[in-house]
A and B are shown apart, each in its own frame.
Chain A
């Protein structure tokens, strides 16, 4: 057999191996319901429940942060994160959690939040405007 064909076979074999390993370690975005059925860790996309309490008190435990989130199916769940409260968390539009269910709580090891306002904030601040109009 020619060497180029051997290399060709190796390349194809490695490429297939890479695709399979990528596919097998890629996960799916699940819901809290999915999370309660499995013991492995998975990713949940959802929104922060803004009218429920965000709890973080550094004096009691600097590594405990809890909040409520609704997943994309509308289910609400308490989420506990081992760490400090991420900055600007209240303003997040969408949250991607990585973690697993522990009883009735979802324990997140990673939080990724999407704040479109983070880099370009296309909102003119009107507060100043109001005050000025009153003067006129």
Chain B
């Protein structure tokens, strides 16, 4: 069809598509050039290496240019592009445009490519003798990511999914045959309101940096096998592995914090398949870091180290397959739907899997696998055991998370566990017990060999102390009421913290090198302590038995009633608090509900009072989207979110255009009262007193002339211990009677001043009351999370530990390379001589 479409801006898209193809082509060229550079036997011939570098630079520039084109399209609201139309809108604030980038699959692939390009440049600059083989692997990974963005038809099937596809190409519709179709597309779909949050601006980049950085140790491991440099790859790979663990760990916990602070999951970890997928490579890489250190220090565990490093990156690719192929549709609440990339993603995983298996198989006989057993009382042996258990824990996560994949492969119809959270909690905690105990007593062991009796004495002393403290914590927090395994996790975690605190104490005596690992271990221990208490003993504060019965069948269910109904300004008792929903504030598009919490002691005194403002958005596209609000205490959090609220009206703007009679329908039939000044009128939820009749009242925009009269009846309304003022007005203008009703929304009242009875010096007032069903209300849920701050602070401590370790390993790397250069220099001198 050669319709000339009006108003389209095709240049930024064509430019973007050009850069997409250039990014793919240059990455491929870089991979090939580096491959030849690595296999080239002539050491002086640098031409392949230079070509590889040049191609990688071009790739980096293309990747940045893709972003520039996409940003231009979104920023200028060019809705002829599907990406802009699907993920942004005119009302979207500029600072969230960046979040649009990763709402769609294409944008998140771009993010992956961007970080891989950044890391590639760092490696290129630092790797020295490793540059050629390592960069050829990174460039290969980059080629595959770039291919996901291609969106080019080859042999009738589309390869990749381009962010620069036009709306009319992406969607079928009769309106696209009109040359002026763009005039009908006024606005985009907008960004999912849940993603309009500052955490959503920083969480995905952190997570993807973590994923992307797994490629560097992977590339080193492959290069080590390929170049037969089985020993040397470990030292440079170690810093990158630690970096990957640190960033991915931060990214995962950031996601958890985002979920806790602004989603209504009701918690910080839900074992959702997508969450699990992001944790898989982290677990294996943590194991890898430990055995890499073992191998570097003792020469043991070479194969385990290589295996764990290789599998970590393959799991990154597998995680991306899980969350992007749409395969988790039935089990996960937040996976992407399939963008036609399922097989492409499978191929991506398989390429790197086969590359790893093939290389290990080819070099199998030469691998430096030690025949000698490790000493039982040596640190390396138990670090190795720990890594194996981490791998097993990961194996379990893979096994359960992949149930839809097994169904897909084997055609079975298995469903995930009916109580997934309980299943994961119990099994993963069993692994955690073993791992935390290992993290504890391994600290008392030395490399090579340790004096057994001394070791047993210190280990036991610490274990007994941990059991005592742990037992106390378990008793006080109520963890003992749960499955027994959680009590063991608690004791194990405290053991980890104590044993590593001892190591940290030694640091001050001069063993400064060990500080990083000790701090990271303490952080991890605290994370577990926080997670067990917060998740295990969290309690729904808003549990209640209100509501009329729905028959015996409903009463029989054990499902607790966790949502509580709050009518505006009607205080309700809830778990020790007196809660009142007392107001709203609307900052478009958010509707904040002000909820007052009061603690009242026996003598009726208010001991504590605060206001939480959970909010909801009545979103055209997604219905009611709620975000919680949390009161943070040092030792617990009170978390509140709104599950239902009648705020559909927000969408149509304030209910304009309703006539008076329409409005009366919102109230019960009025009750007429004849009152004089000082009289009281009672109504269902309070009373009102007629304070005075004001003759000097005037109504805005209505000038009064000669015989016209306007009288205001000033009422003081008291409802639920609050007073309001209202002054309905009665007016005679040009011989006709009018009246201006006044509403007291918070008390659900409307007052009409309908008549003056001069002979009795009284007035007639109609009182309209809102029936319950028309009164503003919210349905909300409140949860208490004890000791959750251990979880967050543990994370921060762990990250600090990782950082210190990275600095330490980098220093070692510098020393070892300097030594190597010194040696080479000496040899060269000798040769000359």
Contact = CB atoms under 8 A, between A and B. Distances in A.
A91 B582 CA distance: 32
Contacts of B389: 14
A59 B388 contact: no
Interface in B335-392: 336-337, 373-374, 376, 381, 385, 388-389, 392
Contacts of A14: 389, 392
B330 A102 contact: no
A3 B419 CA distance: 38
Interface stretch (B116-124, B410-418, B446-454): B410-418
A122 B82 CA distance: 9
Contact of B547 (A19, A60, A87): A60
Main secondary structure on A side of the interface with B: mixed
B135 interface: no
A83 B184 contact: no
B561 interface: yes
Given A27-B417, A83-B562, A122-B171, A18 B427 contact: yes
B622 A64 contact: no
Contact of B373 (A4, A61, A117, A120): A4
Interface in A80-136: 80, 82-85, 87-88, 94, 96, 98, 102-103, 105, 107, 109, 112, 114, 116-124, 126, 128-129, 132
Contacts of B329: 114
Contacts of B830: none
A21 B171 contact: no
Contacts of B623: 87-88
Nearest to A115: B622
Contacts of A62: 546-547, 561, 563-565, 644, 779
B484 to A, nearest CB: 16
Contacts of A102: 553, 556-557
Contacts of A18: 392, 395-396, 399, 427
B399 A19 contact: yes
Interface string B319-337: 0000000000111010011
Interface in A31-78: 41-43, 45, 56, 58-64
Contacts of A2: 373
Contact of A59 (B561, B624, B772): B772
Contacts of A116: 337
Contacts of A119: 103, 192, 336-337
Nearest to A88: B623
A9 interface: no
B710 interface: no
A28 B381 CA distance: 41
B760 interface: no
Contact of B423 (A25, A43, A60): A25
Contact of B427 (A21, A63, A96, A132): A21
A29 B414 CA distance: 7
A2 B418 CA distance: 41
B563 A63 contact: yes
B625 interface: yes
B779 A26 contact: no
Nearest to B618: A87
A56 to B, nearest CB: 8
B418 A103 contact: no
A26 B554 contact: no
Contacts, number: 156
Contacts of B554: 64, 80, 82, 107
Interface string B177-215: 000000111100100100000000000000000000000
Contacts of B157: none
B730 interface: no
Nearest to A105: B553
A14 B388 CA distance: 11
Interface in B538-586: 546-548, 550, 553-554, 556-557, 559-565
A109 B330 CA distance: 16
Nearest to A114: B329
A87 B622 contact: yes
Contacts of B547: 60-64
B170 interface: yes
Nearest to B104: A120
Given A27-B417, A87-B625, A114-B329, A64 B772 contact: no
A119 B623 CA distance: 13
A106 B254 CA distance: 38
Contacts of A96: 330
- Of B547, B562, B624, B772, most buried by chain A (CB within 10 Å of CB) is B547
B174 to A, nearest CB: 9
Most buried by B among A11, A45, A56, A59: A59
A116 B779 CA distance: 27
A62 B333 CA distance: 24
A97 to B, nearest CB: 10
B276 interface: no
A59 B778 CA distance: 10
Quick one: which of B395, B554, B556, B624 has the most chain A CB within 10 A?
A: B554
Contacts of A3: 373-374, 376, 381
B622 A26 contact: no
B381 to A, nearest CB: 7
Given A82-B559, A124-B173, A129-B175, A29 B417 contact: no
Contacts of B621: 117, 121
Contacts of A128: 184, 186
Nearest to B86: A120
17 contacts: A11-B388, A11-B392, A25-B418, A28-B413, A29-B415, A59-B565, A60-B548, A62-B565, A82-B554, A82-B561, A84-B643, A84-B779, A87-B623, A94-B330, A120-B337, A121-B189, A124-B173
Q: Which 4 A-B pairs have the closest CB atoms?
A: A61-B547, A82-B559, A63-B561, A87-B623
Interface of B: 86, 103-104, 167, 170-171, 173, 175, 183-186, 189, 192, 329-331, 333, 336-337, 373-374, 376, 381, 385, 388-389, 392, 395-396, 399-400, 403, 413-419, 423, 427, 546-548, 550, 553-554, 556-557, 559-565, 621-625, 643-644, 772-773, 777, 779
Interface of A: 2-4, 7, 11, 14-15, 18-19, 21-22, 25-29, 41-43, 45, 56, 58-64, 80, 82-85, 87-88, 94, 96, 98, 102-103, 105, 107, 109, 112, 114, 116-124, 126, 128-129, 132
Given A18-B395, A27-B417, A41-B418, 8 more contacts: A22-B417, A25-B417, A27-B415, A28-B414, A80-B557, A82-B554, A119-B336, A126-B173
